[in-house]
Chain A
C-alpha cells in the first residue's frame, strides 16, 4: 500500500480532459509540495509538474497540477494518444523523513 493514493487506472478519448487524483495526509501533501512524473515503461521517468503546479520548460500547457489540503490533482486537457503512460505523484513525508510516491495511474487513451 502506497502512502499516497492514486486510482490505478484512468481513461479518456482524444481531445477529452482527464484528471488524476493523489490523496495524502497532513505529514506529506498537507505540508509539502507535490510533484508529478510521467513514465513510459522501459524509459526514464520524466518530470511533468513540480511545486504543485509549475511546468518545466518543454512540458505542454495541456498538463496542469493543483493542490488543496491533503490532496493533489493532475489534469490533462486535449488528450492525445502519446499521453498514454503511467503517472505518479510524489511528496516529502515529514513523519517518514523520506519521499513517498503514489501507486501510479495507468492512463489509457481510447
Chain B
C-alpha cells in the first residue's frame, strides 16, 4: 500500500536551518509529483511546495519562496524540504503528499521554532 513517512522535525531556534525528509513506498515514486503541505497550530492546511516527478519543475507558495527548497532523490524514493532562516511562523506539522492533484498523505512531522 502507499506509504509516505516524514522525518526530520523537531525544536529549532529561530534563524537556523532544517531539512525534512519524506520516504515513499508501495508505489513507483519516480512517476509521481509530490508536495509539501503544512498546518500551523490551530490553523488550516497551507500548500507549501510541489516538485514534478523528475525534479525538473518546482513550485512554491509565495510565503516560503526564497527560504524553502524542495528536492527529491528518486534513487532513494525520498522527498526533501530544506528550510532556511526559520521563523516562529514556520511552526507547523509538515505533510508530504503524493500526486497531482494530491491523493495520499503522510502522517506529518512537527517543526517547532522556538528559542
Chain A positions within 8 Å of B, measured between CB atoms, are 2, 33, 35, 37, 39, 43-47, 50, 56, 86, 88, 90, 92, 96-104
Q: Which residues of B contact A97 (CB under 8 A)?
A: 59
Query: Which of B8-16, B23-31, B82-90, B102-110 lies at the interface with chain A?
Result: B102-110
Cβ contact within 8 Å between B95 and A45: yes
Q: Are A44 and B101 in contact (CB under 8 A)?
A: no
How many pairs, one residue from A and one from B, have CB atoms within 8 Å of each other in the complex? 57
- Measured in the bound complex, the distance between the Cα atoms of B102 and A48 in whole Å is 11
Asked whether A50 lies within 8 Å of B60 as measured between CB atoms, the reply is no
Binding site for A on B (CB under 8 A): 35, 37, 44-47, 50, 59-62, 95, 97, 101-108
* Given A44-B95, A45-B95; 7 other pairs, CB 8 A cutoff: A44-B105, A44-B106, A44-B108, A88-B45, A90-B102, A99-B101, A104-B44
Contact of B44 among A50, A99, A103 (CB under 8 A): A103
Q: How far is the CA of A45 from the CA of B102 in the complex (A)?
A: 10
